[in-house]
Amino acid sequence: MSAWNYWHVYNHMRNVYLSTGVAPSRDDLLDKFAELDSRQIDEGIEEFDLAIGNRKRGEAG
């Protein structure tokens, strides 16, 4: 079992985005979290898209 999960993917994406203004690609995430199941990576990406998408539109939540 991996020490990583979708929340680590989300937090990594968030940190990179806040530092650079650009979210890492799925390929970058697959490389960084190679031991993690791709479904967990996709779930982290979805979580990031929900959070950042809402902020870009100025919505709460």
pLDDT confidence of residue 47: 95
Q: 20 CB contacts (<8 Å, ≥6 apart)?
A: none
Which pair of tokens denotes residue 41?
């990576």
pLDDT exceeds cutoff 50 at 10: yes
Q: Look-up: residue for tokens 């940190």?
A: 15
Give the domain ranges of the chain.
6-56
pTM: predicted TM-score of the whole model, two decimal places? 0.83
pLDDT exceeds cutoff 70 at 46: yes
Q: Answer for the pair 4, 24: CB distance below 8 angstroms, yes or no.
A: no
CA gap 41, 8 in Å, rounded = 9
Side chain identity at residue 2, one-letter code: S
